[in-house]
Chains A and B, each alone.
Chain A
Amino acid sequence: MKFFLKFITLTSTLALGAGAAWSAEVRIYNWSDYIDESILEDFTKETGIEVIYDVFDSNEVLETKLLAGGSGYDIVVPTGSFLSRQIQAGVFQKLDKSKLPNIVNMWDKVAAQTAKYDPGNEYSINYMWGTTGIGYNVEKVKEILGTDKIDSWDIVFKPENLAKFKDCGVQMLNAPDEIIPAALNWLGLDPNSSNPDDLQKAEDLLLSIRPNVQKFHSSEYINALANGDICLAVGWSGDVLQARDRAAEADAGVTIAYSIPKEGALMWFDQMAIPGDAKNVDEAHTFLNYIMTPQVIAKATNYVAYANGNKASQEFVDEEILNDPGIYPTEAASERLYTKLAYDPKTQRLATRLWTKVTTGQ
């Protein structure tokens, strides 16, 4: 009993202590490896607001925390299709645009795309955007195909082509929301189709290439590509470019390149939003406004090698990033990019079931 009393006094002092130490703070939950940390330090220096920064590595994990409620975060960064469903579920609060004067710097073209997920962009601002394409080991591809350029999904979706890379190693994102649209698009169907017949065709296609895929995983391919463990990966633009930089640093004879195939690729948007139960709403707005400062977001882009949705920032983005068609696609390539909207629950179940069948053979 005494022990219990002690325990109770101890915990209550701890709680009080935490309360007394309270000062202006903002709690951010973002993707791992997705910001130049000095931006957070600069923010604290300029505004006096402490930043508590945590990271996640999948939309599913973020969504589960948000739906359970009381996540404790003031700013979160879901991808568009997830964001739209979360808005429906009532997770977020509307932004107070009067506190976001820097919103004038945003890029109208990107805003038009993100409005598909968040009508009127009332709940979110764009942080970064990118594409889902093919990353490859240049030397190995040259050895196998005789050419050092991959420019078509044929290499992935024709089993006889992919088979040539089997021994060398092929990985794919473990993300049905990204791979199924790519398969549908290659088949000439609507990447957003929720028609069960179309999904069946995508399943047949994926099952036909399945034996040549070593693993479906959403982060391992960065290191695997950089180390030369695999030759081909269907992955996110910035991650493949990170692998390219790591390979260049290691200087072990591995060169990595990223391609947006000519048939088109999925374009996705990571959006910053404020949960309805956030405690530091004012501080969250201050941060969002800060991140829309052209110099600040340019610094982030220079660090993570993803394009941002801030038009005014482009004069501060490094030349080599701005002119890299893998990061900022050319006009012609942009026209072939497509977006993916959220599935309704029934189609979602169908898609996940399809994915389980593709990945496990069950």
Chain B
Amino acid sequence: MNKGWRRAVLIAVPYLWLLFFFLVPFIIVLKISLSDTAIAMPPYVPTFSLSEGWSGIQNFFSGLDFENFAWLLDDRLYINSYLSSLWIALVSTFLTLIVGFPLAYGMTRAPESWRPRLLMLIILPFWTSFLIRVYAWIGILKTEGLLNQFLLWLGVINDPLIIMNTNTAVYIGIVYSYLPFMVLPIYSTLDKMDDSLLEAAIDLGCSKISAFWRITVPLALPGIAAGCFLVFIPAVGEFVIPDLLGGSQTLMIGKTLWNEFFSNRDWPVASAVAIVLLLLLVVPILIFQRMLEREQEGSK
């Protein structure tokens, strides 16, 4: 194989990946979102059949419409679910940043020989199944759980705290589960930072605290942004954590989608919900992409 060929194959790989694992499923879901429900296998019409020839294809396209998207606007439930998901994701991302930044900062300040071990500790929880770790939180947070027993024993509280089955439990679950996604990018930007910049700032009369705010934080911004997007985007569509830790009042789009798909057997509306969610998430992803590009240009 000559060089040009090899390059073409290399470039084609990510595009083929996108085509088969993103574009094709997206078009299938989009098609279902334009269909109508039916008591049949699969539970919607029209379905695509080539056996009827040209008229079959015409019937197929004439059976599609945007009714399901109009339905999403009709009922406040969907808009409220989107807003509530975005809010829960936003708060969780903020909390993850508050916890994650000091962790990452502390790691870069630790002696060089410790750092591989500390990094290892951050990654270690991934060795256990995500589901089991979320289940473990039930044992910790429930009314008769470890946390309450400990606090009662300390005498800090007299009555057990009700955390399990509330939004607080959801925040705890999300912050815990996504923390490594926040710590790792911040750590990698802080680790690359040149310490002599701080020394220079202090030599020039800057206090340690203002050197932190004026040098360290701005230089860590790309890492902070990457961490925030890595937490925010999956948190919006999160289903497992709110289902296991949240209460019945926890409203998130993942749950609403589940209801449409499983309880109502309304695959078309469920698909429409998924399409809108995707569009909502594409915006922050594009912003992130733009930021990355700008940063790369800057470093050149």
Contacts A58-B262, A345-B39 hold; do A353 and B247 have CB atoms under 8 A apart? no
Of the candidates B165, B251, B265, the one whose C-beta lies within 8 Å of that of A360 is B251
Q: How far is the CA of A352 from the CA of B249 in the complex (A)?
A: 15
A194-228 contact mask (Cβ, 8 Å, vs B): 1 or 0: 00000000000000000001111000000000011
Q: How far is the CA of A345 from the CA of B37 in the complex (A)?
A: 9
Chain B residues closer than 8 Å to A176, beta-carbon distance: 263
Contacts A60-B263, A229-B144, A362-B76 hold; do A89 and B39 have CB atoms under 8 A apart? yes
Contacts A176-B263, A355-B263 hold; do A229 and B142 have CB atoms under 8 A apart? yes
Task: Please tell me if A144 contacts chain B, counting CB pairs below 8 Å.
Answer: no
B240-268 contact mask (Cβ, 8 Å, vs A): 1 or 0: 00000001111100001001011111100
Q: How far is the CA of A309 from the CA of B41 in the complex (A)?
A: 29
Q: Main SS of the interface on chain A?
A: helix
Q: Check B251 against A89 for contact (C-beta < 8 Å).
A: no
B residues 89-147 in Cβ contact with A at 8 Å: 142-144
Chain A residues closer than 8 Å to B263, beta-carbon distance: 60, 176, 352, 355
> Closest approach, in angstroms, between the C-beta of A115 and any C-beta of chain B?
20
Contacts A67-B41, A89-B39, A345-B37 hold; do A215 and B247 have CB atoms under 8 A apart? yes
Chain A interface, number of residues (Cβ within 8 angstroms)? 35
A residues 127-157 in Cβ contact with B at 8 Å: none
Task: Please tell me if A246 contacts chain B, counting CB pairs below 8 Å.
Answer: no
Q: Check A64 against B265 for contact (C-beta < 8 Å).
A: yes
> Closest approach, in angstroms, between the C-beta of A29 and any C-beta of chain B?
16
B residues 207-242 in Cβ contact with A at 8 Å: none
Interchain residue pairs A-B with the least CB separation, the first 5: A60-B262, A359-B248, A352-B263, A67-B43, A89-B39
Chain A residues with CB under 8 Å of chain B are: 1, 58, 60-61, 63-64, 66-69, 85, 88-91, 169, 176, 213-216, 227-229, 345, 348-349, 352-353, 355-356, 359-362
Chain B residues with CB under 8 Å of chain A are: 9, 37, 39-43, 75-77, 80-81, 142-144, 165, 247-251, 256, 259, 261-266
Given contacts A88-B39, A91-B41, 8 further A-B contacts (CB under 8 A): A67-B42, A67-B43, A68-B42, A176-B263, A349-B264, A355-B263, A360-B248, A362-B251
